Structure 1
Amino acid sequence: MESERLEMRPFVEEDFTFYKTLVQNEQVMRYINGGVVLDEDKARSWFERQLDRYKDERQTGFLLLIKKETNEPIGFAGLLLQTVDGIEELEVGYWLTPIHWKVGYGREAAKRLMREAFERGHDRLISIIHPENHSSQNVARANGLQWEKDTLFNGIPVVIYSCRLSRLFRG
């Protein structure tokens, strides 16, 4: 899968080192996992969970984002099945290295994944965002998602943004 500036592909074992640079980065994790970076064992566990997600065709799991211009990994993004308030939902999510923040890569990756979800027959899509992560809320709004509710996700306060893909991609 690709967008204008990004290639997106499933993780392979050799990507674990890059994956760790994100999940062990305090800036990246500020609004994720209650702000707690992952130790080696937790990072490995989370990485293995990403690989397991590839077995369920209803989701893409996290895909490595590669900047076409330089062929460097800059983050990951994907469509993930999540349980929110007891309901299974499809979430679009993305994580980027801080040096690649605020240049539109998150928005671009999310938009391409939203199109993928629509093409796979999904209509409802959410984003689970920390209440203080205003940048991610801006990305969600720019891509056509709207605030739906405040809730808890894995015991952590979050805001849920949602959309109907058929409204965004009709015709």
Structure 2
Amino acid sequence: MKHVELHSERLRLEPYTIADFYFVKSLLQDPRVMRFISPDGKPFTDEQTIEWFERQLSRYKTGRQTGLLKLMTFESDEPIGHAGTLLHELDGKIELEVGYWLAPKHWHMGYGREAAARLMQYAFEEGEKDIISLIHPDNVPSQRVAKANGLHWDRDTEYEGMLVSVYAGDLERLCRHIQRQEMSR
């Protein structure tokens, strides 16, 4: 099993453990978080939450994806959300997605952009060439994050019974874009 721990300027990313179940449950059962994530836009039941968490822990066993990693700031050990790279079959092709979910009290602080940028850099360092983000067509804030990190709208398609906008990019170009942004700060 490949154990991935990453950090960025403000964030630590590390694998979930069983002890994190109730934090994950708080995300999956929050209607504000799940509005653009679940196919019906509704929070998960207890049974769906358990299944999701078990599937997530099993993702750590494959080397090409990080799975969703718990996000914490350096200022606190309190989780603020999760982010990671996930393999998905989309339109008949296996693609690597970068994604994130944040607890609502941590929205609009730049954490999603920062976590996604760090994960894209890591994917590039690991030899990946391309990355996508699957975003609900009505989730304008996440579309802005994708664009800020250099991803571009590629197409709309269906994924697991839900219409999604696919934002895509070449990782080498994206990493240069992110580095230029960081140098200009």
TM-score where L is the length of structure 2? 0.90
For residues 64-120 of structure 1, the C-alpha deviation after alignment (integer angstroms, 9 at most, x for no partner) is: 001111221000000000111111000000000001001100000000000010011
Task: Name the counterpart of 2:102.
Answer: 96
| Aligned mates of 2:17, 2:73 — CA distance in 1 | 17
Equivalent residue for 1:33?
A: 38
Is 1:128 equivalent to 2:127 in the alignment?
no
User: Structure 1 residue 169: deviation in Å?
Assistant: 2.7
Contact 2:153/2:166 (8 A) holds in 1: yes
Unaligned segments of structure 2, at least 5 residues: 1-5, 180-185
- Residue number in structure 2 paired with 1:154: 160
What one-letter code is carried by the residue in structure 1 that aligns with 2:84?
Answer: G
Q: 1:11 aligns with which of 16, 20, 29?
A: 16
5+ residue gaps, structure 1: none
Matched, 1:112 2:144: no
Instruction: Tell me the equivalent position of 1:2.
Output: 7
Please list every run of at least 4 consecutive aligned residues from structure 1 whose deviation after the TM superposition is greater than 2 angstroms. Answer: 168-171
Q: Which deviates further from its counterpart, 64-73 or 136-145?
A: 64-73
CA distance in 2, matches of 1:123, 1:29: 30
Q: 1:99-154: per-residue Cα shift (whole Å, max 9, x none)? A: 10011000000000000100110010000000000000000000010000011111
In structure 2, give the amino acid aligned to 1:50: Q
3-state SS, counterpart of residue 4 of structure 1? coil
Identity across matched positions, percent: 53
Q: CA separation in 1, counterparts of 2:160 and 2:78?
A: 32
Q: 1:89 is matched by which residue type in structure 2? A: E
Which among 117, 133, 137 is matched to residue 143 of structure 2?
A: 137
Give the length in aligned residue pairs: 171
SS of the equivalent of 2:7 reads: coil
2:173 maps to a residue whose letter is R
Partner of residue 63 from structure 1, selected from 63, 69, 73:
69
Give the secondary-structure state (helix, strand or coil) at the position aligned to 2:44.
coil
CA contact (8 A) 2:98 2:131 kept: yes
Length-normalised TM-score, structure 1: 0.98
